[in-house]
Amino acid sequence: MEGLNEEGQWIVLMGLLVAVAMFFLALIVNQSALVGQTTAEGVLEFPKNDIRDLRTEIFDCVDEFGDTVDADVKKDIVVISLERKNAVVDFSVDPEVEISGGRWLHPVKIHYNNGVTVYDETVYY
């Protein structure tokens, strides 16, 4: 009789314990199923390379035309940006001004908006 009472019971009880543990585990797993937005999506969403590329292109324009940027080229950039990059782009180049260090540079205003990221910059180039 002690064989049954003291040794047989715990096999069933252990089984029960494991079962209950699994139940709780399942509840926890269910709770934590949702994960947030991943880093990769965040990186893809943020148009870092687009903005850098646009800046380089605008500086190339300034190199070529100075402050009288060719209207056709500006239109190229604005229209193609909207069509292919889905971004509203605007930029303007002002005549050179003297900045510290006695250098004469063009103030270049760049505006970029693709509905998720808005980027505005005035850079002296």
Partner 1 sequence: MVNDTGQLYTMEGVAAGLIMLLTAYIVISTTSVYTPGDTHITDMQLEQLGSDVLAMMDTPDTETGVSDLEVFVDHNNATGFEATFLDYCNATTGGAVDSLHMSATIYYQDGDEVKEYLFVPADDSWTGRESAVRATRWVQLDERSRGPPLDDRARAVLVEVLIWRD
Partner 2 sequence: MRVTMDNDRAVSESIGFILILGLVVGSIGLVTLYGYPVLLKEQSTTDVRNMERAMIVVQNDLKSLCYKNVPYKETSLQVSGGTLEVINASSAAAEKFRVSNATGVVAEVKLGRLEYRSDRENYVITLENGAVMKRQADQTGSVMLAEPRWFYDPPTRTFVVYLITFNTTEYMSKTGVGAVKMSLPQKVTLVDDDPGTVTVEYTGGDYSTAWRNYLTSPSVGMAETDPNTYENTTPVDRLVVKVYDVWVHDI
Partner 3 sequence: MNGDDGLLSLDFLAGFTIFMVALVVVVSMVPGLLVGLQSSGIDYDAVAYRTGVILVEDPGWPVHPPWELYDVYHKDEIERMGLAVSRDTPNILLSTKIEKFFNGSADGSGFFDYPDDYRRRVLFGDYPYVCNISMSILGGPTYMVGDARPQGYGYIRRVVKVKEPSSAIIQDNDLYRAAVPSNRTQFTVRLNCSELLDPSISPAYRIDPRIERISVKIANFSYYLNSSPYATLKNVRFHKNYATGSLPFPYTSISPEKYRFQIDGVDTTLTPNAHVNSTLYLMLQPASLPIDPNSVIDIVFTFEEPAPDPPRTTISGLHLYDYNATNVTRPDLTFGVLEVAVW
With CB under 8 A as the contact rule, which of the stretches 11-19, 96-104, 105-113, 115-123 interacts with partner 1? 11-19
AA letter at 56: T
Long-range (24+ apart) CB contacts under 8 A made by 108-112 are 108/58, 108/59, 108/62, 110/54, 110/55, 110/58, 112/47, 112/50, 112/51, 112/54, 112/87, 112/88
Residues in contact with partner 1, shown as a per-residue x/- string from 42 to 71 under the rule CB under 8 A: -xx----xx-xxx-xx--xx--xx----x-
In the complex with partner 1, the residue whose CB is nearer, 21 or 97, is 21
79 binds partner 1, rule: CB under 8 A: yes
Long-range (24+ apart) CB contacts under 8 A made by 82-86 are 85/47, 85/50, 85/114, 86/114, 86/115
16 binds partner 2, rule: CB under 8 A: yes
Binding residues for partner 3, rule CB under 8 A, total 21
Binding residues for partner 1, rule CB under 8 A, total 47
Question: Which residue in the set 9, 16, 20, 22 belongs to the binding site for partner 3 (CB under 8 A)?
Answer: 22
Residue 56 Cβ, how far from partner 3 at the closest point, in Å?
A: 10
